Amino acid sequence: MNLKSMTLPELSEALKAMGQPAFRARQLYTWLHRGARSYEEMTNLPAALRERLEREAPILPPTVVRRQESARDGTIKYLWQLADGNCVETVLMRYHYGNTVCISTEVGCRMGCAFCASTIGGLVRRLEPSEMLDEVLFTQVDSGLPISHIVLMGIGEPLDNFDNVMRFLELVNSPEGMNISMRHISLSTCGLVPKIDELAKRKLQLTLSVSLHAPNDAIRDTIMPVNRAYPSEALLDACRRYYQATSRRISFEYAMIDGVNDSVENAKELIRRLRGLPAHFNLIPLNHVEESPLKPSSRAAVAAFQKTLEDAGIPATVRRTLGGDIDASCGQLRRKYTRQEQETS
């Protein structure tokens, strides 16, 4: 029984079945969403109830396997070990508007993007809602810093774990829990069109970040296998439907890859294809992955690409590189740890 993945009404029903009064559920829910590591901490619950919960629904918090803190900007990268021994990454980033945590939604990933370390080794399993919540909670507890924003851009494809991610969003947005506003949450996807449509129906006020990374199918096919299932035109049509349903502007993620997708002509092609779709571009200096031959674009190429978009009226920002002196890029720390474990076993 996974109590932390339950909503407050569900938890109330579970405790009611144990013969507990209604107010016990709110007490327990508060403790769980405060980051309690054991029932022993929950001193306002009866001892007999704590003992029963320990037997029937043990709390299994993640443990820190690696913790790296940037001397440059204070970014903290965590490698968490889950109850089954698998590991996921979380990154805490400090901005002027608050502290943002980037969380993983899966152990590994099956999307196969050529520039991403997370997908090396494929998908191991999907995270439970409680495990995603723990990434936020225990990053906050360990760092001592209040979390105000969440981005689902770590290891895994969030929409490939749709139901669990939707439950996580419900939990983290709960007024009785962390109460993080949907407008402070960004969800990234490589472009699973049916799931984008399903997300649109929910009319959540989060920011949808679409990993586009190419102006056309010829390029996108070579770096993002998902494009063969859902070509870019189908993806952009889904983005238009999403905007019509939610009135939320799409944020397009675009990794700048030297000689692949970074020419002014590439930018002009994007402008033509995005006509009429309110959008913002987040240009990302590519992080080098040892196993990949792809290289980051030059500063001049990034600047020219940005200027071309902005001259056409499309807002474009270059993502500030945080944690450059640590393994802060998605999947790098887990990949390094896994390789070391294999070498020593």
Whether 75 and 190 map to the same domain: the answer is yes
Per the annotation, the verdict on 330 as an active-site residue is yes
Whether 184 and 224 map to the same domain: the answer is yes
Range of the domain at 32: 3-56
d(CA 231, CA 225) in angstroms, rounded, equals 10
Whether 199 and 290 map to the same domain: the answer is yes
Tens-digit pLDDT profile for residues 201-214: 999 999 999 999 99
- CATH (domain of 114): 3.20.20.70
Whether 51 and 70 map to the same domain: the answer is no
Is residue 177 within 8 Å of residue 29, measured between CB atoms? yes
pLDDT over threshold 90, residue 341: no
Tens-digit pLDDT profile for residues 130-175: 999 999 999 999 999 999 999 999 999 999 999 999 999 999 999 9
Whether 89 and 44 map to the same domain: the answer is no
Tens-digit pLDDT profile for residues 225-237: 999 999 999 999 9
Exposure string for 88-116, b = 16+ CB within 10 A, e = fewer: bbbbbbbeeeebbbbbbbbbbbebebbbb
Whether 311 and 170 map to the same domain: the answer is yes
Considering the candidates 89, 128, 131, 253, report the single residue annotated as catalytic. 89
Whether 155 and 229 map to the same domain: the answer is yes
Per the annotation, the verdict on 69 as an active-site residue is no
State residue 120's pLDDT score: 87
Q: Report the DSSP pairing between strands 316-318 and 87-95.
A: unpaired
Q: How many residues does the chain have?
A: 345
Considering the candidates 116, 269, 330, 343, report the single residue annotated as catalytic. 330
Structural domain total, the chain: 2
